[in-house]
Amino acid sequence: MVKMFCSMFLIFQSLLWLLSRGDPTVTCVFRQSCILPCNVDPSSDTILRWDHLTSREHNVHSYYDSEDQLGRQDQQFKGRTSLFKDLISRGNASLKLTGVKIQDEGRYRCYSSTERGSKKTFIQLKVEALIKVNIKKVENRIICSSEDIYPKPELTWFIYPPSELELHNRTTVHQTEEQLYSISSSLLVSDSFKDQIYSCTVSSGRNRIRASFCKRKKFMDPSKVIAIIIEAFLLWILIFIIIGVIIEAICKTAAHQQSNKAANQQNSAESQCLQITAG
Ligand X SMILES: *[C@@H]1O[C@H](CO)[C@@H](O)[C@H](O)[C@H]1NC(C)=O
Of 180 and 202, which has the nearer Cβ to ligand X?
A: 202
Residue 8, φ and ψ in degrees, nearest 5: -65, -40
Which residue's CB is nearer to ligand X, number 164 or number 177?
164
3-state secondary structure of 186: strand
Distance CA 152, CA 179 (A): 9
Interface with ligand X (CB under 6 A): 35, 37, 39, 84, 87, 92, 94, 156-157, 167, 169
Nearer to ligand X, 64 or 84 (CB): 84
Q: Can you say whether residue 139 is alpha, beta or left, with left for phi > 0 and alpha for psi between -120 and 50 degrees? A: left
Q: How far is the CB of 17 from ligand X (least distance, A)?
A: 26
Compare residues 38 and 180 and give the one whose CB is closer to ligand X: 38
What H or E segment, with its residue span, contains residue 43? none
In a 13 Å sphere around the CA of 95, the CA atoms on its Cβ side amount to 30
Q: Are strands 25-29 and 117-128 parallel, antiparallel or unpaired?
A: parallel
Q: Work out how close the CB of 170 gets to ligand X at its nearest, in angstroms, rounded to a whole number.
A: 8
Contact 48, 103 (CB under 8 A): no
State which residue, 65 or 164, has the beta carbon closest to ligand X: 164
Comparing CB distances to ligand X, the nearer of 24 and 244 is: 24
- Least distance between ligand X and beta carbon 182 (Å): 18
The nearest distance, CB 35 to ligand X, in angstroms, is 5
DSSP letter for each residue of 189-228: ----SS-EEEEEEEEETTEEEEEEEEEPPPPPPHHHHHHH
Bridge partner list, 127: 28
Supply the DSSP symbol for 102.
G
Quick one: which of 215, 217, 209 has its CA closest to 129?
209
What minimum distance in Å lies between the beta carbon of 32 and ligand X?
14
Q: How far is the CB of 186 from ligand X (least distance, A)?
A: 10
Shortest CB 155 distance to ligand X, Å: 9
Kindly tell me which of 158 and 236 has the beta carbon lying closer to ligand X: 158
